[in-house]
Amino acid sequence: MKHRLPLLFALVKFIASLALAGYGTYELHRDEYLYLDYGHHLAWGYIEVPPLTALQSWVTLALGGGFFWVKFWPLLWGSLTIYVVVRLARRLGGGPWAQALAGVCYLTTAYGRLNLLFQPNAFEVFSFTLGTYLLVRHAQPDGRPRHLYWLGLVLGLGILNKYTTFFFGAAVLVALLLTAPRTLGRRPAWVAAGIALLVAAPTLIWQVAHGLPFRHHMALLHDEQLVHVTAAGFWKEQLLLCFAALLVWVPGLGAALRGRPQPAARVVGLVYVVGLLIITVLHGKSYYGLGYYPALFAVGAVWWQARVARPGLRAVLLGLPLLLWAPVVRDIFPILPPAAMARLSQRPLHQKLGLTRWEDGEAHPLPQDFADMLGWRELADKTWLAYRALPASTRARTLIKCDNYGEAGAINYYNRDRAMPAATSFNGSYLYWFPPWPARPYHHLLLIGEGRPGELVPYFERFEKVGEITNPYARERGLTIYLGTGPSPALLARAAAEHRAGLAAWEGNLQ
């Protein structure tokens, strides 16, 4: 049975997450629409993240792009992560109970929500966990150079997924320096580094060729989001994200740093300390640290195994994470219909914790993430109807421009089987996908989310509102769709200049 536990937990993880994904109750999340559009524009790099997500998007769209296939990827990476966690507990000497405790810790912490969204974060956690596992295997008495080679491959794929892998790579380097410094001077370590750079080279070359847009991305994050992150706030959220497993990962960290339950476990503690220190210094978001905890679940579970032998106490330890997790299932998973979730969110505890307070600082009926999964199909359908209402003779000369990537991605996703131009934007990677300006000027402009429509009236022969999002729970409620017919050359020239300026901001002096 012990050899089947990793597979059993992987299967439980996949099925349970699929049941909690909100199919039929909610739509996809705003960010998922952007990443799905990557599949229509395969490249070695994007403004937001490297290209590994795009490959998954391409496969998803080739399979029809349905809800299941969108969610398949985060569910897959989550299932593989828990498989590695349980395997690591076994490699460190954990029996079936310790392996089960490590798996339960993963099931009942922030990864449940993270593994529901089609974003690079799910693969990031998997790659960091697998990389730590390989580092432990190399440090064990039967470790082989191949474990470093595989680690190099994992690091390379991690860079193709998110550039935060460089932080993890730095933590791995320090861990090796402190535990096995001679390893760094030997051939296997250099081969592993070469594998990592070779795999990551295409996206690194893309970055250089496009003027390092990553720098502008980081500058925007620092000025608009990371500047508000404090060290105290960051560490407070670290405790909350894995709160249900607090009694496991905290002693697990202490044990790992002391080289328990095996000397090889020390690398787990060092990778955690260095990785989280880097993120703290750089004012990273709280979820940047999630890739460093799963391995601690394994170490902590084996640590408890050596100290608790009574079946009753073991049952309590195994059930405690589940007891702490059960009361918040409805709060963190999209399983309640919006109206029911809105009623639940009015409870004093929700209001006190600010769970319905959005980025604008105001309280709303639903938590922001839930509201970000509503209203998108309505937007896509109303945009389609507005496009179909245009005269057939001029319909092809239509530009559909959105205010942000979520709107453009949703319109393209739900209209993927309809004959209409792709929606675009000056936001994010859509800057690269903006269609070339045609020789004959556009005859119609469908403007989605235009903030100052009154100012545009003089630039069109006719300008009118043709749609609005009415879903009362959607974050996009009140979003407008305007149709402008006969845009003036001055307006089109201004739009072209805005597009060039947007690209120049990302590409520096290349434009």
Q: What is the pLDDT averaged over residues 146-170?
A: 97
List the chain domain ranges. 5-331, 337-365, 376-510
Q: What is the pLDDT averaged over residues 116-126?
A: 97
- Whether the pLDDT of residue 149 is over 90: the answer is yes
- Counting residues of the chain whose pLDDT is more than 90, the rounded percentage is 79
- Whether the pLDDT of residue 47 is over 50: the answer is yes
- Whether the pLDDT of residue 75 is over 70: the answer is yes
d(CA 45, CA 429): 10
Q: What is the pLDDT averaged over residues 70-97?
A: 97
* pLDDT value at residue 403: 94
- Whether the pLDDT of residue 145 is over 80: the answer is yes
Q: How far is CA 457 from the centre of its chain?
A: 39
Summarize pLDDT for 241-270 with one digit per residue, the tens.
999 999 999 999 999 999 999 999 999 999
Summarize pLDDT for 436-445 with one digit per residue, the tens.
888 778 999 9
Task: Please give the full DSSP string across 71-84, using - where no structure is assigned.
Answer: HHHHHHHHHHHHHH
- Whether the pLDDT of residue 236 is over 90: the answer is no
For all residues of the chain together, what is the average pLDDT? 92
* pLDDT value at residue 511: 43
- Whether the pLDDT of residue 510 is over 70: the answer is no
* pLDDT value at residue 338: 93
Alpha helices in 282-403 (DSSP H): 294-305, 311-325, 329-332, 338-344, 348-353, 368-371, 376-388
* pLDDT value at residue 234: 85
- Whether the pLDDT of residue 221 is over 70: the answer is no
Please state, in angstroms and as integers, the Cα–Cα distance from residue 145 to each residue in 141, 179, 181, 186, 317, following that order.
12, 16, 15, 10, 37
pLDDT-based confidence at 499, cuts 50/70/90?
very high
d(CA 275, CA 278): 5
d(CA 377, CA 143): 52
pLDDT-based confidence at 353, cuts 50/70/90?
low
- Of the listed ranges 41-45, 102-106, 220-224, 381-385, the least confidently predicted one is 220-224
Q: What is the pLDDT averaged over residues 348-365?
A: 75
